[in-house]
Amino acid sequence: MKRKGILVTGGAGYIGSHVVKTLGEAGERLVVLDNLSTGFRDAVLYGDFIEGDTGDDVLLDKIMRDYEVEAVMHFAAHTIVPESVENPLKYYGNNTCKTRTLLESCRKAGVSHFIFSSTAAVYGIPEGEFALETSPLAPINPYGSSKLMSEIMLRDLSTASPLRHVVLRYFNVAGSDPEGRIGQSTAKATLLIKVAAEVATGKRDRLCIFGTDYPTPDGTGIRDYIHVSDLADAHVAALAYLRAGGESRTLNCGYGHGYSVREIIDTMNRVNGTPIAVEERPRRPGDPPRLVAGVERIREILEWTPRYDDIELIVRTSLEWERKLAARKAPEVCQRESPAR
């Protein structure tokens, strides 16, 4: 019997391509939709690829019919926090409005399962040591707000239809495929470990630390870094959970512990063998001092056990991928680390 399809939007991007790889290795029937605005065609290792946009309702309806789509994994989004502040309508238009178009197509096609790529940015600046799924939702930038609006639409559609969903709220995603087949190739990346690897390989001249006077042990911000391959495994576990009849859930994706910016730099220096150039800058408004996931729910509900919870391994796979990239990009002055993603 021919398997029903899984639609992966944004599957040529950093996280989406790792999930496509994991699903493909499991023998799933995949169709990847990506407009290649930030993704790369050669990062899609499995399934059929369609260049197109999640805002194209005619194309979406055709894909749903042609592939008998059973499940959607939705990664397509803009993700740069400072840009969202500068151009909020771009983020609401792409992240929120196009998600609404995708959900409408899912409703018409009778899609059963939906897994949504969300973010810890929905929490804003959480109180307490950990951000829990029950923590107040108070995003402090349009990126977080655009994702929260999509979560609300998905919740309401699931209430009004047979669609069931899992929302996965990512913390700071890092690392690359340990086999070295794919990695993070995003131009002008903002994620700390990626930027540090670019400095180590000469693609940027230095890394900027924004804030050295936070109430943390070394004065720099603390984040929960999760390896992208563990995150991909969480998506596969979420699909298995829904297929087994699981009810709709919202779950944090992290390890439950964090590292400071200085600790990440020290790890990169150790792995690289040569210190990278660093410049200290003042704090940026809105960056939380600490953002670490509460992870009890995802481990219990999805029976998910991380395999790559090792900061040195995460940094090493990032650096190894950076060294493999053929195209060398012009040096950039400073990284702009998003508070979560």
Q: E strands along 215-271, which residues?
A: 222-223, 225-227, 249-253, 259-260
Q: How far is CA 338 from CA 83, 116, 195, 324, in A?
A: 10, 19, 12, 25
Strands, sheet with 48-51, edge to edge from the N-terminal-most edge strand: 48-51, 29-34, 5-9, 69-74, 113-119, 164-170, 249-253
Q: Where in the chain is the domain with CATH 3.40.50.720?
A: 5-173+225-253
| 325: CB partners within 8 A, 6+ apart | 183, 185
Number of neighbouring beta carbons within 10 Å of residue 216: 17
Q: Of 127, 131, 168, 177, whose CA–CA distance to 150 is shortest?
A: 168
**DSSP-derived secondary structure letter, 246:** P
Q: Which helix (H) or strand (E) holds 102?
A: helix 98-109
143 carries an active-site annotation: yes
Token look-up 């050295």 returns 212
Q: Which helix (H) or strand (E) holds 119?
A: strand 113-119
User: Per CATH, which fold does 178-223+255-294+305-324 belong to?
Assistant: UDP-galactose 4-epimerase; domain 1 (3.90.25)
The span from the CA of 225 to the CA of 20, in Å, is: 21
Q: Where in the chain is the domain with CATH 3.90.25.10?
A: 178-223+255-294+305-324
User: pLDDT tens digits for the chain (341 residues)?
Assistant: 567 999 999 999 999 999 999 999 999 999 999 999 999 999 999 999 999 999 999 999 999 999 999 999 999 999 988 899 999 999 999 999 999 999 999 999 999 999 999 999 999 988 888 999 999 999 999 999 999 999 999 999 999 999 999 999 999 999 999 999 999 998 888 889 999 999 999 999 999 999 999 999 999 999 999 999 999 999 999 999 999 999 999 999 999 999 999 999 999 999 999 999 999 999 877 678 999 999 999 999 999 999 999 999 999 999 999 999 844 454 444 444 444 44
The span from the CA of 244 to the CA of 238, in Å, is: 10
pLDDT score at 329? 54
Handedness of CA 133, 138, 141, 146 (dihedral sign): positive
Does 3.40.50.720 match the CATH number of domain 5-173+225-253? Answer: yes
Question: Which residue is catalytic, options 91, 92, 143, 308?
Answer: 143
